[in-house]
């Protein structure tokens, strides 16, 4: 079994086997770029080691053979006392896990080869001893678990004795002394001497890198980033090159384009006379990469040439790590670089212009989550506003409000109409009400999967988590940051995209991308690279996609906006909102009706109001289909809550007021009270129980359609029956509806379809029967998820989902992204059996999943005709539907 690959043997497509770093080092080697020679030990060797606790058979021999070849190539032997070869041992998994796993540099140094290294470096003793002490420190910490602070303290002691705080002030003798101190620390903690044998150093370092795959921070990181736990890491053994050999040496990072904006140019940082870890540790300040031109023009020109070659080769933004050793440039790493959402679009557009990729590939390079980010309102920032802290952008958006420190206070102030930002160290389920009431959530602890972050994202609420510069004092209702104290009621602004926190009110504006979708920003004239790129890619997505995109809207205004955003109709108009506000009284009359006449009266009063609602919507959606769902939620939701009503009645009685009406209402509420209203009298059940209710709605829809059509418009209503579980329910409603429609429509030419939601598992499983009575299906994946999992959709997010996420039972809430295996299977069965019974049956989805990127791909796969989502997600769904089709 081949466990070790020379760099010349690999290529960029072998990431599974060689990890990202190894595969890309191989690619650069084969491109002829100056990569220090080395070899990669495969992820398979790692997996075998982790499974058995020992190196797989043959690995040691293969390492020996590749090491020998490396020594031949370099003309030096590992750890040779006269002229030593030194190597670095670097982790490199398939997916980048920055800083999560281990690296050991300078392997091959010992008490004897340190002298040879000095000679190699032109008699530079200081450099040699500094390299040696770095090896003992890194090796001790990562391979042998020696507490890192011990080394730090010893280094501080030497600096203090020397009266300096700068490492560079230490001379060779100081560093030699430090090596002695480090060796003592090493043996105290490990019970053995620091290993002098180079091959033993190498083997132990390789083993430590294997084991670092399961280090706690790596495990947590993988869970957060949803990287599979069983991939293992590769190990790269690379000949050392040194950036710390003097002023003609140095190290740096470079991007082939600006990863923040996508703009072309030279982006990066350089640090002279330093090693890579100094850059990361921020010990000294780097200079902009452009300065390298002045410092070392030859290396600079060479680097620019390599960067251009890499970009042309990878056809994408690359990031690069390099080192210059005494005027000689070495490429230490490259990869397709991470970028912001804006840069992703801009770069994809540029690469098309440059002829490097086609539009399909450009579409593939961006995604809906990025587009969604570009659509959040943003702060209008000018120099006046400087952030006082930076946490993790846990849930995007720009929120401004008064600071509160408790959930109760958040609820209180929000009830008074104030915008509030709930500030907590971290949130827990008890904070849920406060989080709901707040405009934004700010915590000083926790990452992207903390309770606050998960719940906030679930609610679509802006959240900055882990802003650890904030010193929060809950009992005193204040926090301090950057020397300032913020108390309850002070205004702060938080940016859930960047994680930045501002004191005071930062003005908010719609993003350019939203202005473009709204039609107020012309992409041709905007001169804005981002808007132009978005326009171009969206146009291509529309040309490519097979799924239509509709919207969930129940007002004319929402319908109009969604149409501007590209909606091709309404997939769900929830009629229940039409029963709220000042119409509540009519609903009360309906519920309290003692006689048929009273009920018909109430319905007759609702009819014209409903008709007007539908006319408005049909007008806005002129010529496009509009799915109107008959009333769904239990009627008592339109009545006051039981407790409150009971108290009111008691108080009024006490005062001797006339409470006959309230008492009747109270009795009705009592009568209708259900322990589990979500599983109770709602949807089609309501229509079957309350005579005339659905009939009134059907009539209003049909009359509105006729009115719009007669006035020159074109209305295409689709009446949808909710919560059907059995075909007989639908048949009963349909028979009545068809009669009314025939009567109203007459010869107007209006065509009304009648279909059903598939949102009860039984409906999905009997879809073949239901299709006989339905002209279309629309999957209500909210209820289908609720009833499929048995999770109350109104309660779970705060109550226990965080724990489920923590345990990895699911990686994302099934209410947010479709559970392909379970709920998705119900969708698939219903789609197949429905179409088998009625070929060409129109299929759509109108649950929240209709606007979720991952789910859109699933709905494309199962062959739905359209997805429907809230207006703001329409562009996201268009983009993802296009991506699903390529």
Which residues are catalytically annotated?
Answer: 451, 846
Residue 870: name the closest of 577, 616, 574, 630 by CA.
Answer: 574
User: How far apart are CB 782 and Mg ion at their closest, in Å?
Assistant: 5
Q: Calculate helix-pair angle for 781-789, 823-837, nearest 10 degrees.
A: 120
Based on CB atoms, which residue is closest to Mg ion, 554 or 759? 759
Based on CB atoms, which residue is closest to ligand PEP, 431 or 816? 816
Based on CB atoms, which residue is closest to ligand PEP, 752 or 846? 846
Based on CB atoms, which residue is closest to ligand PEP, 572 or 881? 572
User: How far apart are CB 622 and ligand PEP at their closest, in Å?
Assistant: 24
Q: How many residues bind ligand PEP (CB under 6 A)?
A: 10
> Residues 615-654 vs ligand PEP: string with x where CB under 6 A?
-----------------x----------------------
Q: Is 762 in the site for ligand PEP (CB under 6 A)?
A: no
Are the C-beta atoms of residues 513 and 371 closer than 8 Å to each other? yes
Q: Is 309 in the site for ligand PEP (CB under 6 A)?
A: no
User: How far apart are CB 724 and ligand PEP at their closest, in Å?
Assistant: 12
Candidate residues 92, 499, 633, 780; the one interacting with Mg ion per rule CB under 5 A:
780
Residue positions counted in the chain: 886
Q: Is 759 in the site for ligand PEP (CB under 6 A)?
A: yes
- Chosen from ligand PEP, Mg ion, none, partner binding at 846 (C-beta under 5 to 8 Å by type): ligand PEP
Candidate residues 109, 530, 572, 752; the one interacting with ligand PEP per rule CB under 6 A:
572
Residue 403: name the closest of 506, 490, 471 by CA.
Answer: 490
Q: Is 826 in the site for ligand PEP (CB under 6 A)?
A: no
User: How far apart are CB 780 and Mg ion at their closest, in Å?
Assistant: 4
Buried b (16+ CB within 10 A) or exposed e, 158-190: bbeeeeeeeeeebeeebbbbbbebbbebbeeee
Candidate residues 326, 478, 574, 820; the one interacting with ligand PEP per rule CB under 6 A:
574
DSSP 811: S
Q: Is 847 in the site for ligand PEP (CB under 6 A)?
A: yes
Residue list 343-372, contact with ligand PEP (CB under 6 A): none
Alpha helix locations (H) across 92-171? 113-120, 125-138, 144, 148-162
- Chosen from ligand PEP, Mg ion, none, partner binding at 92 (C-beta under 5 to 8 Å by type): none
Q: How many residues bind Mg ion (CB under 5 A)?
A: 3
Give the CA dihedral 600, 602, 607, 612, nearest 10 degrees: 170
Give the three-class secondary structure for 447.
coil
- Chosen from ligand PEP, Mg ion, none, partner binding at 588 (C-beta under 5 to 8 Å by type): none
Give the three-class secondary structure for 860.
helix
Residue 81: name the closest of 119, 116, 118, 106 by CA.
Answer: 116
DSSP string for 159-193:
HHHHT-S-GGG--HHHHHHHHHHHHHHHHHHHSSP
Based on CB atoms, which residue is closest to Mg ion, 340 or 552? 552
User: How far apart are CB 832 and Mg ion at their closest, in Å?
Assistant: 22
Q: Is 846 in the site for ligand PEP (CB under 6 A)?
A: yes
User: How far apart are CB 757 and Mg ion at their closest, in Å?
Assistant: 6
Residue list 718-777, contact with Mg ion (CB under 5 A): 759
Are the C-beta atoms of residues 763 and 743 closer than 8 Å to each other? no
For the chain, what is the largest distance between any 2 Cα atoms, rounded to a whole number of angstroms? 108
Are the C-beta atoms of residues 482 and 389 closer than 8 Å to each other? yes
> Residues 771-810 vs ligand PEP: string with x where CB under 6 A?
---------xxxx---------------------------
Based on CB atoms, which residue is closest to ligand PEP, 733 or 744? 733
- Chosen from ligand PEP, Mg ion, none, partner binding at 572 (C-beta under 5 to 8 Å by type): ligand PEP
Q: What angle do CA 297, 298, 303 make, to 5 degrees?
A: 95
User: How far apart are CB 215 and ligand PEP at their closest, in Å?
Assistant: 42
- Chosen from Mg ion, ligand PEP, none, partner binding at 847 (C-beta under 5 to 8 Å by type): ligand PEP
Residue 395: name the closest of 466, 460, 338 by CA.
Answer: 460
H or E element at residue 250: strand 250-257
Residue spans of beta strands (DSSP E) within 305-369: 318-325, 328-336
Residue 271: name the closest of 251, 257, 242 by CA.
Answer: 251
Binding site for Mg ion (CB under 5 A): 759, 780, 783
List residues near ligand PEP by CB under 6 A.
572, 574, 632, 759, 780-783, 846-847
């Amino acid at each position: 079994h081949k466990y070790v690959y020379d760099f010349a043997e690999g290529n960029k497509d072998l990431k599974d086997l060689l990890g990202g770093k190894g595969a890309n080092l191989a690619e650069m080697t084969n491109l002829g770029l100056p990569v220090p020679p080395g070899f990669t030990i495969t992820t398979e060797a790692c997996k075998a080691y982790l499974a058995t606790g020992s190196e797989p058979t043959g690995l040691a021999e293969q390492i020996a053979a590749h090491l020998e070849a490396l020594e031949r190539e370099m003309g030096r032997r590992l750890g040779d006392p006269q002229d030593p070869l030194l190597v670095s041992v670097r982790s490199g998994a398939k997916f980048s896990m920055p800083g999560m796993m281990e690296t050991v540099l300078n392997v091959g140094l010992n008490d004897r080869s340190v002298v040879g290294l000095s000679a190699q470096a032109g008699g530079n003793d200081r450099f040699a001893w500094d390299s040696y002490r770095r090896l003992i420190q890194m090796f001790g910490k990562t391979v042998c678990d020696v507490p890192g602070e011990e080394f730090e303290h010893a280094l501080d002691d030497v600096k203090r004795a020397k009266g300096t705080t700068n490492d560079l002030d230490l001379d060779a003798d100081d560093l030699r002394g430090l090596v002695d101190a480090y060796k003592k620390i090493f043996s105290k903690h490990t019970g053995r001497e620091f290993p002098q044998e180079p091959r033993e150093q190498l083997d132990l370092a390789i083993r430590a890198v294997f084991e670092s795959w399961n280090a706690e921070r790596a495990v947590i990181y993988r869970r957060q980033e949803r990287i599979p736990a069983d991939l293992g890491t590769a190990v790269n053994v690379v000949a050392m090159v040194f950036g710390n050999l003097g002023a003609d040496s140095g190290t740096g990072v470079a991007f082939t384009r600006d990863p923040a904006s996508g703009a072309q140019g030279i982006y990066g940082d350089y640090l002279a006379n330093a090693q890579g870890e100094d850059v990361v540790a921020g010990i000294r300040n780097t200079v902009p990469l452009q300065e390298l031109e002045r410092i070392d023009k030859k290396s600079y020109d060479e680097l620019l040439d390599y960067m251009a070659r890499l970009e042309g080769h990878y056809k994408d933004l690359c990031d690069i790590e390099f080192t210059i050793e005494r005027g000689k440039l070495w490429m230490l790493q490259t990869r397709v670089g991470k970028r912001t959402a804006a840069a992703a679009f801009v770069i994809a557009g540029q690469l098309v212009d440059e002829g490097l990729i086609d539009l399909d590939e450009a579409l593939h390079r961006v995604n809906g989550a990025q587009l969604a980010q570009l659509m959040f309102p943003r702060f209008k920032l000018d120099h006046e506003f400087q952030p006082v802290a930076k946490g993790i952008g846990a849930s995007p958006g720009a929120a401004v409000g008064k600071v509160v420190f408790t959930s109760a206070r958040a609820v209180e102030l929000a009830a008074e109409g104030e915008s509030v930002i709930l500030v907590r160290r971290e949130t827990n389920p008890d904070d849920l009400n406060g989080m709901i009431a707040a405009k934004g959530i700010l915590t000083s602890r926790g990452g992207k999967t903390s309770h606050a972050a998960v719940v906030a994202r679930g609610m679509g609420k802006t959240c900055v988590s882990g802003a650890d510069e904030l010193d929060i004092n809950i009992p005193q209702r204040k926090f301090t940051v950057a020397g300032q104290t913020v108390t309850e009621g002070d205004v702060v602004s938080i940016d859930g995209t960047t994680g930045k926190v501002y004191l005071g009110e930062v003005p908010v504006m719609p993003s350019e991308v939203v202005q473009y979708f709204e039609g107020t920003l012309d992409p041709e004239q905007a001169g804005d690279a981002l808007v132009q790129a978005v326009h171009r890619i969206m146009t291509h997505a529309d040309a490519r996609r097979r799924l239509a995109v509709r919207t969930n809207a129940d007002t004319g205004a929402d319908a109009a906006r969604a149409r501007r955003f590209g909606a091709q109709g309404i997939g769900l108009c929830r009629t229940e909102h039409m029963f709220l506000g000042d119409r509540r009284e009519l609903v009360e009359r309906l519920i309290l009706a003692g006689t048929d006449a009273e009920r018909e009266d109430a319905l007759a009063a609702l009819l014209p109001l409903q008709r007007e609602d539908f006319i408005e919507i049909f007008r806005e959606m002129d010529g496009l289909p509009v799915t109107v769902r008959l009333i769904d939620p239990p009627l008592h939701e339109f009545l006051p809550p039981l407790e409150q009503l009971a108290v009111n009645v008691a108080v009024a009685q006490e005062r001797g007021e006339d409470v006959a009406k309230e008492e009747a209402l109270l009795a009705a509420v009592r009568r209708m009270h259900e322990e589990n209203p979500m599983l109770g009298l709602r949807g089609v059940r309501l229509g079957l129980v309350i005579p005339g209710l659905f009939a009134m709605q059907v009539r209003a829809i049909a009359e509105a359609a006729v009115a719009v059509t007669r006035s020159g418009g074109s209305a295409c209503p689709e009446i949808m029956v909710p919560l059907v579980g059995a075909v007989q329910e639908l048949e009963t409603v349909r028979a009545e509806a068809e009669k009314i429609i025939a009567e109203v429509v007459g010869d107007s030419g209006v065509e009304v379809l009648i279909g059903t939601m598939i949102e009860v598992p039984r409906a999905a499983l009997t879809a073949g029967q239901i299709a006989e009575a339905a002209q279309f299906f629309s999957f209500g994946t909210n209820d289908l998820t609720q009833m499929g999992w048995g999770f109350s959709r109104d309660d779970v997010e705060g109550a226990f989902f965080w724990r489920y996420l923590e345990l990895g039972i699911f990686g994302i809430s099934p209410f947010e992204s479709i559970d392909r295996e379970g709920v998705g299977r119900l969708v698939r069965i219903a789609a197949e059996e429905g179409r088998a019974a009625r070929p060409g049956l129109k299929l759509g989805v109108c649950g929240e999943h209709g606007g979720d990127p991952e789910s859109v791909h699933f709905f494309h796969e199962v062959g739905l005709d359209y997805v429907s989502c809230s207006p703001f997600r329409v562009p996201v769904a268009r983009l993802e539907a296009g991506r699903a089709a390529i």
